[in-house]
Amino acid sequence: MTKKEKVAFAMKTLHNLYPEIPIPLDHSDPYTLLIAVLLSAQSTDVRVNKITPLLFERASSPQEMIKLTVDEIREIIKPVGLSPMKSKGIHGLSQILLEKHNGKVPQDFDALEELPAVGHKTASVVMSQAFGVPAFPVDTHIHRLMYRWGFTNGKSVVQTELDAKRLFPKGKWNDLHLQLIWYGREYSPARGWKIENDIITRTIGRKSVLKAFDEK
C-alpha cells in the first residue's frame, strides 16, 4: 500500500467502527469541559468522570469556582492526581476568565493557552469539542497509533500533531482524533496488545512494529 492508501484505509476503518463518536469526558458546557480536560492530565477519563460531578455540584461556573479556596478544590480533586497544581490552575483560570473574558471560555487558541495550567493539548480539545474548530489534540493513544502505523517518527507529540494535520483532511480532524483515542483503547493498547484484534496495525503497520510483536 502507498501512504495515501494506508491513510484512506485507516480513516475508513475508524469511520466504520465509530460512526457515532462519544466524547470521553462528561461536561455540560465549554467551562466544565475545560476543567475536565485539565483534570485529565496524567489521569484517566474514568477517574475524572467520577470526580467532576462532585466538583461541579459545588461549582460549575467561574463565578462559583472562585468562591472556593484552592485547598477546598484540592480536597475534592485529590483522586485524579497532581491536585496541588491542578487546584491552583482551576482557581486561577476561573479568576482570569472573569477578569478578562466576562466569565466565558475564549474561542481562541492563544487566549486559552495563556490560562494557568492550560497547555496546547488542552486548548486543542476545548477548541475542537466545545467550539467545533478544527484541531488535532494528540494524547498517548494517538501518539502510539500514529507511530505503529508509520504515519510519524514517534519522536514527539508535537511532530505527531504536525504529521496528523498533514495526512488527514482538516474537516475530519475533530472526528478522527476521538476515533483514534477509542480505537487505541479498545484495539491497540500499549499493554495487553493482541494484534489479531488490531486490524489497522495488522494491515498497514510499520514493519519494525510488526516484527517486534512477532518476536515477543
| Active-site amino acid positions | 121, 139
Which residues, 6 or more positions from 85, have their beta carbon under 8 angstroms from its beta carbon?
Answer: 117
**Helices of type H across the chain:** 3-17, 30-39, 45-58, 62-65, 70-77, 83-100, 109-113, 120-129, 140-148, 157-167, 173-186, 199-204, 207-214
CATH code that applies to domain 3-21+137-214 = 1.10.1670.10
Domain ranges across the chain: 3-21+137-214, 30-129
Q: 3-21+137-214 and 30-129: same fold?
A: no
Mean pLDDT of the chain: 95
**Position 139 pLDDT exceeds 70:** yes
- What span, in angstroms and rounded, lies between the C-alpha atoms of 67 and 142? 37
Q: What is the pLDDT of residues 46-86, one digit of tens each?
A: 999 999 999 999 999 999 999 999 999 999 999 999 999 99
Phi and psi of 198, rounded to 5°? -105, 80
Specify the higher pLDDT residue, 7 or 208: 7
pTM for this structure?
0.91
CATH code that applies to domain 30-129 = 1.10.340.30
- What span, in angstroms and rounded, lies between the C-alpha atoms of 146 and 142? 6
